[in-house]
Each structure stands twice: as C-alpha cells, then as structure tokens.
A and B are shown apart, each in its own frame.
Chain A
Amino acid sequence: MDINMLLSTVVLVSFIVTVVLAVGSYLAFKGRERRRPDPKLASRNGEPLFFERIYLQPRKVEADSASSVRELKVRGSSPRASGPVLVQPS
C-alpha cells in the first residue's frame, strides 16, 4: 500500500469513526438527560419550572410587603440613587 492510499484510508476511517462516536455521544447525552428528575416534579401549578412568563411593567414607587422579592438598602450614599431599591413582584 503506498503512502497516499494509507493516508487516505486513515482520513476516511477517522471521519467515519468520528461520526459513529458523535452519534454515540448524542445518545449518551440523551440517556443522561433522561435519568434526570422530571422538571414537572418541581413545577408549580403544572407550569414547567423555567417557563414562568414575566412581563415588563411600569415601575411602582411603593413597596409591596407581599412581594416575593427581598428589599435591600444600599450601603453608603450614591449621588444617583433616589432611595432604597424597590422591587416589584414578577
């Protein structure tokens, strides 16, 4: 077998092995994902955990005590800050 034929065969076999390994890796990835806990187990009201739709709303000035958001005061004083940071519930 001359050197050209040898190199050609190496390239060809390498490529086919890469494709086979790529398919195998994909199947391994899918298998790993399947073994993970079902996201629905951690959902609320039947909605998937990561798909709570949040809409932009105009900022409110008053704090909402029922908010799930914790409010924090800024340490020190910022020339641009106009008081405590107010967060509205999503």
Chain B
Amino acid sequence: MRPRYLYLVIAAAVLLLGAALAVMVLLPRTHLEVANQPLHFAIIVVTGFLIITLVRYFVLLWLGYLHHVESKTSVDNDERFEPLVTILVPAYNEEAVIQGAIRSLLELDYPAYDVLVIDDGSTDATYARAAELEGYYGRATVRVVSKSNGGKASALNTGIALARTPFVLCMDGDSRLSTGTLRHAMPHFRDSRVGAVAGNVKVTNRRNLWTCLQALEYIEGLNMARRAQGFVRAVNIVPGPIGIFRRDTLASVGGYDSDTYAEDADLTLKLLTDGWHIVYEDQAIAYTEAPENLLDLLKQRYRWTRGILQALKKHSDSLFRPRTRFATWVSLQAMLFEAIAWPLMNVIGNMFFSITALIVGAPIYVMYWWLLLTWLDVAAALHTVAMEEEDLRLVPLAVLYRFFFVTTVDVAKLFATVEELLNVKMGWGKLERAGRI
C-alpha cells in the first residue's frame, strides 16, 4: 500500500475510535438531560442502534484489514499456479457492449485461457457481433455459441457443460475484467478446499450522483463485507460480474439454478453448505455499469433483495441447523441480518427517532445522532477507499450516503421483503445498459 493511503487508513481508524468514544460518552449524558419519557425511550433505542452500527463497522473493518494483511504476506510469486481457465460470457441483447467485452478479455495477463461467449437467444445482433471476433489469438481462444433463450443461469450452465478446462470464470456480458484478474485469483485454488474465488466489483460509469454513490456503496458496503468474509473463507455471495470456480465443483452441485432471482447468491450458498471454502480476491476486478437513474436502481435492488431472500429460504435448513463450518454458519446469519434486519433498523429506527423528536419538540438530538452516523460513515468510507487505493473524491459523498442513499435503497428493500413474504409475483426485469464500458 502506498504511504499516502496507509496514513489515511490509520486516520480512519482514529476517526472510528473517536466515534466509538463519542457514542459511549455523549449519549448516556443526553439520557440524563432528557426528562421527557418518550424521548428518553427513543434515545435508548437509538443508542442501541448506534452501538450495533459501531460493532458492525469494527468487526467488518478489522476482519477486512486482517484479510488485507494476510493477502499481502501470503503472496508467493516464485511458485506459479496457472491452470487453464475458461471465461464464460453470457450475453443477452448486449450488441452495444459485447465486442468491447471480448476485446478486453483478450488482454488478460495470463498464459493460456479460453473465452466462451454464450448468446442466450438475443433478439438483437449480439451473436453476429460476437462471432466476428471468434478465433485463436495466441494465449486465448474465443468461441461463440448461441442457444435458445433461457436466462443467465441456463446460459452459464451451457457454458460450464462446454468448458474444456478445470476452472471457469463466470461474468456478465456487460462487465470488464482487470488484466491481472486470473493471475491474482488462480493461486487461491492451490488449496484444495477452496471451491470458488469472489472478485472485486467496481462501478465504472461514475457519471452522476447516483452512480458515484453506488461506486462508494460497492467499496464501503459490499466489498467491505466481502473482504471480512474472505478472511474467514466464507464469502456469502460470489458476485455475478466476477466469480471463479472449479468446474467439477459446479457440476457436483448442479450448476446454477433458475428458481431464484439471485442465481449467484443461490449458487454460493450451495457451495458453502456443501463444505467448500470461498475466498475473496480484491485484485481480481470486474468493472460494471451501475444503474444511472433512481428507478433502475430500485429495480435492481428489489430483484437482489427478493433473490437473496429466496436463496436463504432454499437453504434455511443450513441457516438454523448448522451442519458445516462455524464460519459458514456465521456468514449465513450475517446474510440474513444484512438482508432483513439491517434495512429494517435503518428505516424504522430513523423514523421512530425522528418522529419522536418532532413530537416532543427536541430536534437537537436528531442532529447529534446524524452527526455521529455521518462521522462513522465518513470514517468507514475513508478506511475502505484508502484500502482499495480508490478515488478519494468519493469520500465526501459519505455525508449523503446514510441519510439519502441508504434510506432510499432500504425503503425499496423493505417493500421487496414484504412482497417476498406475501409471495407477490415479479418479472425478471433486465436492466437497460447505456453501453458506456
């Protein structure tokens, strides 16, 4: 890590400790100041919420830091591990981006690999555009096949069946991989217990406030959690844009299922409950397009939430009756917490405290509370952005992150949870891509 970023990581840790002290010292004092009974109760609830938030941040950031240290000290460049890999690119109506995706895959820093594009019955010129690039390119061979439409899961299953290598990399047709992806990810498979490697997803179209906030969310929210889970080798979602698997392992668990809206989460849970270790590699990077407007963002999160809940329901026996590793069980519990309890706490907790403060006429406590949460978010953003040596201009957005972005997304998650519990029907809803990659 470059010194500038190392200092920022240390500064973030100090800020976090400061936030912890503030919560522990200031909030009990406010209890003493408040004579109003409802507000007193609200402050106790909010103090509990802040402590859970603080513990969550500390656990995730500390495990994430241990993962970072471990990955830096365990790199063994002398012993090369470069087995053949097939990169599976499912594509449905991706004519705007498919050629760029294939070309970027030809530039990977890896000695020998296949690229297999699976056109999933596109109604546009995806197949023709991809077929133009079919052939042998020295280190890489590009193959293109087309099948009748069946969804991403069926396209990937077709690709897994056709792959002629012991390892496969599953990605999205509209994503790009960093050149070092395979070189960094494959050595994890030296350990025969590792069944999959989850990569690092980054938002590439940072063009407006929504996409910049999502870029921060991917770093501060998703990657922070994944890095922590990686330390205990129990990542609970291998992201759709980048996941590397043993081909035989995928075949042994039956590949991807199509009965949930989050086939990547479902497959990950199948592997975890089958006893496989799943690790995280932050240098295996997939760049993806994030939704550029609010309604598309809500559509994506609605589908993610319902899909994760469906996957958890499918594997509920492992959730409540642990039969595998303790770390796997904890990771599944964390998944349930993040899917249901965390959004509920964010929205209901905030609403409860705000309304109480409004009714009893004491909005000053809302400001204390907002300052503490913002302090925490800025510290977490600084820490995670510095850890990934990312664009530091994302850090100030943490001020908007909690109250504006997280609240908006969590409201959609809550509605999605209710609709999933009520079994309301939903369509797949492929996102429209701008083709900016």
A68 touches B147 (CB 8 A): yes
Instruction: List the B side residues contacting A25 at CB < 8 Å.
Output: 294-295, 298, 408, 412
Bound-state CA distance A5–B365 (Å) is 10
User: Which residues of A are found within 8 Å of B407, using beta-carbon distances?
Assistant: 15, 18-19, 22
Given contacts A7-B367, A12-B354, A26-B412, contact A74 B158 (CB under 8 A): no
CB distance from A52 to the nearest CB of B (A): 4
Please name all residues of chain A whose beta carbon is closer than 8 Å to the beta carbon of B160 when the two chains form the complex: 56
Q: A52-B150, A74-B136 known; A85 and B143 CB under 8 Å?
A: yes
Q: How far is the CB of B114 from chain A (nearest CB, A)?
A: 7
Task: List, in ascending order, chain A residues with CB within 8 A of B354's CB.
Answer: 12, 15-16
* Chain B residues within an 8 Å CB radius of A66: none
Query: B358 near A12 (CB under 8 angstroms)?
Result: yes
Taken together as a complex, chains A and B put the C-alpha atoms of A63 and B358 apart, in Å, by: 72
Q: In the complex, which residues of chain B have a beta carbon less than 8 angstroms from the beta carbon of A89? A: 147
The distance in angstroms between the C-alpha atoms of A68 and B149, with both chains bound, is 10
Contact with B along A1-21 (1 / 0, CB 8 A): 000110111011011101101
A11-B363 contact in complex given A74-B134, A75-B135, A90-B154, C-beta closer than 8 Å? yes
Residues of A within 8 A of B410 (CB): 22
B15 at the interface (CB under 8 A from A): no
Report whether A87 and B366 are in contact in the complex, using a CB–CB cutoff of 8 Å: no
B404 contacts the other chain (CB 8 A): yes
Residues of A in contact, count (CB < 8 Å):
53
* A59–B403 touching, CB < 8 Å: no
Confirm or deny: B350 has a beta carbon within 8 angstroms of a beta carbon on chain A: yes
B169 at the interface (CB under 8 A from A): no
Q: What's the Cα separation between A21 and B412 when bound, in Å? A: 11
A5: B residues at CB distance < 8 A: 363-364
Residue pair A18, B403 in contact (C-beta under 8 Å)? yes
Interface size class of B (residues with CB under 8 A): 35 or more
Q: For window 20-46 of chain A, which residues contact chain B by CB distance below 8 Å?
A: 21-23, 25-26, 28-29, 32-33, 36, 39
Beta-carbon nearest neighbor of B410 in chain A: A22
A19 and B411: CB pair below 8 A?
Answer: yes
- Tell yes or no: B17 within 8 A of A by CB: no
Contact of B258 among A54, A74, A85, A88 (CB under 8 A): A54
B3 within 8 A of A: no
Q: Which residues of A contact B298 (CB under 8 A)?
A: 25-26, 29
Inter-chain contact count A-B, CB under 8 Å? 166
Chain A, residue nearest B429 (CB): A33
Asked if residues A75 and B136 are in contact (CB atoms below 8 Å), the reply is yes
CB distance from B384 to the nearest CB of A (A): 23
Tell whether A56 pairs with B255 under 8 Å between CB atoms, given A25-B294, A72-B131.
yes
B357 CB contacts on chain A under 8 angstroms: 12
**For residue A28, which residue of chain B has the nearest CB?**
B295
A61 proximal to B (CB < 8 A): no
Q: Does B31 contact A (CB under 8 A)?
A: no
A42 → B minimal CB distance (Å): 9
Cβ–Cβ < 8 Å partners of A76 in chain B: 135-136
For residue A57, give the distance in angstroms from its CB to the closest CB of chain B.
Answer: 6
Are B251 and A56 in contact, CB atoms less than 8 angstroms apart? yes
How many angstroms between the C-alpha atoms of A43 and B363 in the bound complex? Answer: 54
Name 12 A/B residue pairs within 8 A (Cβ), A-sorted: A9-B363, A11-B370, A12-B354, A16-B358, A18-B407, A19-B347, A29-B298, A39-B428, A48-B428, A54-B157, A55-B157, A56-B157
Q: Can you name 8 extra interface pairs (CB under 8 A) apart from A22-B407, A54-B157, A80-B164?
A: A14-B404, A21-B408, A26-B415, A53-B259, A54-B153, A59-B162, A69-B147, A88-B161
Question: Contact residues of B with A, CB < 8 Å?
Answer: 84, 112, 114, 127, 131, 134-136, 141, 143-151, 153-154, 157-158, 160-162, 164, 250-251, 254-255, 257-259, 294-295, 298-299, 302, 347, 350-351, 354, 357-358, 363-367, 370, 403-404, 407-408, 410-412, 415, 426-429
9 closest A-B pairs by beta carbon, nearest first, are: A54-B154, A75-B135, A22-B411, A8-B363, A8-B367, A76-B136, A52-B150, A50-B428, A22-B408
